[in-house]
Amino acid sequence: AQSVTQLGSHVSVSEGALVLLRCNYSSSVPPYLFWYVQYPNQGLQLLLKYTTGATLVKGINGFEAEFKKSETSFHLTKPSAHMSDAAEYFCAVSPAGNTGKLIFGQGTTLQVKP
């Protein structure tokens, strides 16, 4: 069975610092991997996704993630945090070829300090 673990329910960084949000997954088949962002009282917005091909995926708002099969990881990074990046971030996995059903991690709340 597939599962997703996000290490750290809360991450705090200073404005301008590197953002690193960790995600590890377990899957018996090559997965599709996703990162979503949720601002307060809003729905989830797709940041980026990995399906096949290049393992370094670039998304919106300057975020990127790298699929590392050997480490079963899909960590999200951004070189320089902005105050507007403060939100909750969800990593999700879907087995390749699935109809789109996702398994989500528990989420990581990113706080950005001025």
Partner 1 sequence: SQTIHQWPATLVQPVGSPLSLECTVEGTSNPNLYWYRQAAGRGLQLLFYSVGIGQISSEVPQNLSASRPQDRQFILSSKKLLLSDSGFYLCAWSRETQYFGPGTRLLVL
Q: Which residues bind partner 1 (CB under 8 A)?
A: 32, 34, 36, 41-46, 49, 51, 90, 92, 99-102, 104-107
Neighbours of 11 (CB within 10 A): 18
Neighbours of 51 (CB within 10 A): 13
| Half-sphere CA count of 49, side-chain side, radius 13 A | 15
Residue with smaller CB distance to partner 1, 7 or 17: 7
In single-letter form, the type of residue at position 63 comes to F
State in angstroms the smallest separation of the CB of 3 from partner 1: 12
Separation CA 64–CA 74 (nearest Å): 10
For residue 85, what is the DSSP state?
G
